[in-house]
Amino acid sequence: MILDSFKLDGRVAIVTGGHRGLGQAAALALAEAGADVAVLDFGDASETVAAVEALGRRALFAQIDLIAATPAEIDAAVADVAERLGGVDILVNNAGIIRRTPAAEHAARDWDEVIAINQTALFHLCQAAGRLMLAQGHGKIINIASMLSFQGGITVPGYAASKHAVAGITKALANEWAGRGVGVNAIAPGYMSTDNTAALRADEARNSAILDRIPAGRWGVPADLAGTFVYLASPASDYLAGAIIPVDGGWLVR
């Protein structure tokens, strides 16, 4: 049956930044499909862990500051999940930050921190989980790209640079790993109602301009990504490699 190819029974997933928003939606979607879930996050992920456990899945929380974490610390965090849950089959690289300042005044610290978590930590997480997946001959990596993987945005130069990099890393790893059983793809969420977009939604002019361009006529919500998370994590997507899938209410085609 086709629905069987979407099942994640017996799989172990790591979700970064899973204490709220898109990361929490990913963790719950994967758990509903059958996966056990480890949340790597700087914030308190106890709510997500409890929700995963309420679905009858194993869950754990590992606190890590991905802005400051070294590659060795990231390796250790992934290895700890593998030891405690019996492996790593799925990685969702969701953790990220955005800093809004005009380019001419964009602080060096803002640039550095955005690149550190959105790009550098993401790559090292791909490496750490990817090594385990390559050794076992299967795995799925889902990176979170953005509309700004395709566009330049306004007052977010570091974020735009990092999200273009996410698309590039996704394609580069897919080229190397698709033939070895490891699927690497990305989701590019459209304008979603999350903490990262609170300033935009509070700005009446920007909010109206954004809504006017979305054919679906609304901001997205984290649950809108659930089906895509499960698809990319499951055997149903085995022949997909290096894709950047927009889930945007039609923003890019307008």
d(CA 205, CA 34): 43
Residue entry with tokens 């190397």 = 176
Q: Terminus-to-terminus CA distance in the chain, angstroms?
A: 36
Q: Which two structure tokens, joined as six digits, stand for 63?
A: 């606190």
Catalytic residue among 159, 191, 231, 239: 159
Q: Tell me if residue 239 is catalytic.
A: no
Q: In what order do the strands lie in the sheet with 182-189?
A: 59-63, 36-41, 12-16, 90-93, 139-144, 182-189, 244-247
d(CA 66, CA 116): 8
Helix (H) or strand (E) holding 30: helix 21-32
Q: Which residues are catalytic?
A: 159
